[in-house]
Every structure is written in structure tokens, then in C-alpha cells.
Chain A
Amino acid sequence: MIPIAHYLILGGLLFAIGAVGVIVSRNLIVMFMSIELMLNAANLAIIAFSRSLNLMDGHVFVFLIMAVAAAEAAVGLAIIIAIFRNRETINADKFNLLRR
């Protein structure tokens, strides 16, 4: 059996890649994908813990997170479409109307 540490290292790496992706990337869609990566890293960690502790409630939690992530995805894509219709760009650096 694969030890829990391996899953956690993978989850931690995925989470870090996602977090860096959100900060570094300038494209809204890529930023959004990075956030999904972070959520799924958390999912992986929960499932790994759930298996190693022999508990079922972690599985349920993962289902709920998946549903929440889908709802967020829908809202996020909708907002990105709305902004693209007005501005014809999804480059995050271009969104600077709200500065002094």
C-alpha cells in the first residue's frame, strides 16, 4: 500500500502549483484553472486521509466540494464571458479601471 505521505506530497505540490499559477498568470481562464487545481489538491488530501483513517465522511465531503467547485466554475465562466463582451480581453492586467 502506498503510504499516506506520498499522497500528501502530491497534494501539497498540486496546491502550490495552483497557488503560484493564480499569482503568476495574467489570463483569467488560466487563473481559474489554477484555482480548480488547488481545490482538487485538497480533494486528493481528504480522500487520502479518509482511506488511511478508514473513515467514510471524507468521501462525502469530497462530493460536496466537487458540487461547490462546479457551481463556482459556472459562475466564474459566466462572469468571464460578461467581462469579455464588454472589454474584448481576458488579460487580468487590463482590468485597472478601479484605481485611484
Chain B
Amino acid sequence: MRTKQTVLMLCLLAAALPVAAFDLGNIDWKKAAETVQKVQKANADINEEQEIGLGEGVASNLLGAAPLLDNAEVQRYVNRIGRWLTLQTERPNLPWLFGVLDDDDVNAFATPGGNVFITKGLLARMHSEAELAGVLAHEISHVLRKHHLQAIKKGAQAGLLSDLANDVIKQQGADPRLSKLVSAGTEVYARGLDKNDEYEADRMGVVIAARGGYDPYGLPAMLQTLQALNPNDSSLALMFKTHPALGDRLERLDQLMSSAFARLEGQPDLAARFATELGARK
């Protein structure tokens, strides 16, 4: 079946070549075959349903690494903020889900399809709802721009992804190819994204938080707090390894925000609600 497709594509490719190239002896068949492979790979586009399925697999893995914090009030609070923020974006209808992981590491994660997790260790270092909103908005931006999905695609074995795109892999059940892709996907979180993806999520995050009516300086305030932590603390190790230097991130935000956000500086940070909601924990 695949061979048939390849032959067909080679024929189409040949037909597309300039007339002079119809002397078959002149065609570089190796190069043509490579081109076909590239085209096939590029066509292996994942639809939204598959993005969600893959993202749930990765989310399930992350929850295998660190459990959910056992506190429904805190989980619900974070979900309310997060869901409100997603309503200000271009993908409001994804099955957005937010969760606090019961782990002292300082970190946050987003998986394709709209699953966002932050650690208890990060939450404990925040001072206001605007800071929490800023961090969630950064993670939401990764989902909007499909940063992790692209990274997974880039790293995936050729074939695996086109199988998924062609719906060969069943979403449910223990298909070894899907679990392979999911575990490859989970490794992206150990490796980190491209620096530019992180900068982009920062500059989108402050905008999304501002659209939600929050003080837009929540995210930079959080980053500034992290900058003042002891960099040798092991709870920061993975976050530092997988993200650009905090000084660089803050400098870029400073340049972008200094004039554009002056009119939004009066927006609330809801520090009091943050204290009450998290203080309500028994």
C-alpha cells in the first residue's frame, strides 16, 4: 500500500518536473525519493482530536511522575482562573484542564490539547492571583502555539507520526506505537523546548493575563522572584535547565511591556483572594 503511494507520488513529482527533465536518465531518483519522504512527513499533520489524545497520554505520564495535590478547593480555584484565561484566546473550546502537582519542584507544564500543570512548589512562591494567572497564561500559550506538539513531531520516528495522522493508531487501548509516541512526547519535558518558544509564551502570556483583566506584571514578578532563589537548589534544576536564563526573559519582557502596558497598570492583582483561597486549605 505504502509502496503504491510512493510510486504514485514519484509519478506526480516527475510530471511536475520541467519538460527537459523528461529524459528519465537525468532524474536523480535518490533525491526524488527523499523529496517524496519529506512531503509525506510534512503531510503527517495531526488533527485536533489526535492532538488531544496525544496530550492526554502525556498528561497521564506527568501525573505518573507526580501526583495531583489532594485538595479539591485549590484545584478548582486554579481551574477557574485558567479557564477564564482560555476564554480570552483563539482556542477557547479545547477541553482545558488545570492541575496542581503535589511536588516541591518549581515548575509548570503544558501538554498538547490543553492540559496545564503547575507544581505546589511554584504555587507556594507566588504572592497574588495575577502571578498565578501569568504563569498559567504562559503555559496556555504553549498549547495555543502547539509548541510541544511541534517538538514531538520533530523528534518522532518517521512513520510513527504519519501512522497517527492516517488514523492507523487507535486512540484507545494499549497500542505500542501510541505509547511510544507518548513516551517520546514526555521526554520533551525533560529536554525542554526551543528558547524562542519560551520567549513567545512569555510575551503571549502577559497579554492573555491582561486580557483577563489582571495586572499584566504578574508573570514578570514571578520570574523576578525565581531569579532571587538560590540557583543551586535542586527543586529549580529542571526548570532552569529547560528554560532560557531568567535575566534574558525579564529583559525581553521589559522592552516589550514598558510602553505598551502603561494603560493596564491599574488592573487588579487579587492578592487578597489568592491568600483567602489558598488559606482555606485545611
The answer on A and B forming one complex is no
**Which residues of A line the B interface, CB within 8 A?**
none
